[in-house]
Structure 1
Amino acid sequence: MSQTNTSTESLFKSFHSEKLQLSNRTVMAPMTRGFSPNGVPGEDVAAYYRRRAENGVGLIVTEGTGINHPSSVSGASIPLFHGEESLNGWANVVKEVHQAGGKIVPQLWHVGMTRKKGELPNEEAFPVGPSGLSLSGKEITEPMSEEEVVQMVEAYAQAAADAKRIGFDGIELHGAHGYLIDQFFWENTNRRTDRYGGDLVGRTRFAVEVIEACRREVGPDFPIIFRFSQWKMNDFGAKLANTPDELERFLEPLVNAGVDIFHCSTRRFWEPEFEASDLNLAGWTKKLTGKPVISVGSVGLDGEFTSFSGAGTTSLDGLIDRLDLGEFDLVAIGRSLLQDPEWVRKVEEGKANDLLPFDKEALKKLY
């Protein structure tokens, strides 16, 4: 590995925003694990998250959890965020994380048109999306009616209310990577001509209504984190915004709706988002909105997650330099933390040589 020469002190400074206080700047990135039979997170899931909290992670963002809609997830072991049994399971996760001194938010999720017909847990449920189009633009189902859109907004709001009720420290809305909310954002999958479509700003309308409905349920002081990306699962070069000007137009309605923190998903945190500036997506988002931001993308590793292969450890110098400059406020760590629950503690204690390289076999177990 390449040795980290820069002091990591800034990574371990406390974070204070209007609605969220954290002991340091580290975030566990949301990573789908699929170890929740029948959608219910058990004791092993609680232990998995507690282990990261015990080792100093500032904020845990859970894996994506399905809101109360028949086609919200694809897979019988993907955790749900509705129903007494699943919510009781999440309440236990919250209890374990809090006992370990950590903070945790659920990522509220609907996969939209990435779901295939016949997939579990509800084989009869059709995928839904703004225009019924797959990510590649193929017509799969009918577009969502306005009534269905309104019902979906309320499903997100109910999940937000439940998150607060069972003790979470905030919520994250998954608006990235080509899933449902992002399908409304992206012109390739949103061909609507009503108020939920049209131009760049019109395509934010669904997300705006989701955010506003969640805010209504959780009140003014509960943190709402919003995750978005330019890239999609089937198109790493996709862009919602091609210029800083377009990005500002895209972000403004989301800020006005009530987003507190933006989680800006990129595959490699060090890559500039636009020409003529070294700022990444998080850096631009902070500059344009003034809101706190989370940066993410291959932190501590020398290989992209999208290759689904192993990756070696690498220097944190570039990451720390950007954090010191104030380009972003928080740093989300994915595969490094999946592989090694002690990653944050080791970095804080200067034990870089003890960090573990990522092995894709780690995906097959929950530890």
Structure 2
Amino acid sequence: DPEERELALSRLLDFYLATAAGVYALERPGDRTVSHLEPTGYKGLSFTQHDHALDWLYSEANSLLACAQQSATAKTIRRSVDLLLASKDLAESGANSRQFESVATLVRDAAAAAGDPRSEARARTTLAQVHSTAGRFDQADDEARMAMQLAPSTDDVWTHCNAPNELGIIAGYRNRLDEAETLLQQTIAAFRADANQPGEASALCNLSRVHLAIGHTTSAVELASEGVALYNRMGLTLRLANGRYALGLALARAGRQHEAQERLSEALTVFRDSRQRLWEGMTLFRLAEIHLDAGRSAQAAGLAEQALTVLLHVGGEWRRANVLTVLGQALQGIGQADRARVCWREALSVFDQLAAPEADAVRRLLDPASVGNGT
């Protein structure tokens, strides 16, 4: 009977949303996202151990995402969107990222068709993060801007915190640094108003990255240290790893290489334990950069090769090209010039396709004589 099917699917949606919210809360204690999710009429599973919670999330990924897709109707669109919010780790897993993106796109369109600006803004913010993770910054920018346009038509605290955060991160990647700083300052204020300390700490670390790009190294270290201190006070693990990653980058730029390596190595252990493939790969890449700067080319090459393997199915072509650039430099340092040029040519092809500014630096690596000629 259609009505019975609808009720059964609604109960299943409640089960998945309640359980995924519990996993999210276990992974990110203190994060207010779970307080802003739609209430459920049925309880989900409860976990006390980190590994058991992640085992459930990844083993149930296909069914969970199928449930979100089937529930993208006017009656249940809000819970469908919130199920994606609660299971966002799947977007960075590599194994489930494409399915997550497909479902998020469908849910976004369903929310727009239902005339629900809150659900549409949440879906677009989530989709912006998916595209950003995959290195598709133009598409991420479009989704985040649409979410920001929808935000004033809704009193959704979650969107007011997370939409400017995503757009600020993307603006930083696109080198729109003044815009990024303004958006992230707005984000910090919104998270503080919501008493969301993990969110505030995350935004502080994101702002640290922007200050690094501007060249304000001292304030970048201070901002990342402030974020890490907040995470430490809450006794967090996964989010603390994100903070240590940001602090490691700032310390490396400040010339404090040993401290930077320590913070990044600590982050790497947590990312691996939490199955955060994207951040595991990016941390290996950052460690490779530190070893390269210190003249340890063999170690840098090994770490860069590991990063490429981890980022094979997640992170996108732009990130892969950056790793290839560093791998080429490390290979050059150990006398493998031919392999280095293969890496650089592949990286240049990606950067040219993306019209990325990094292409010029790779051209100089391939043709050092062009620097003297001013070409």
Higher helix proportion: 2
Higher relative contact order (CA 8 A, sep 6+): 1
Give the structure-2-normalised TM-score. 0.29
Higher strand proportion: 1
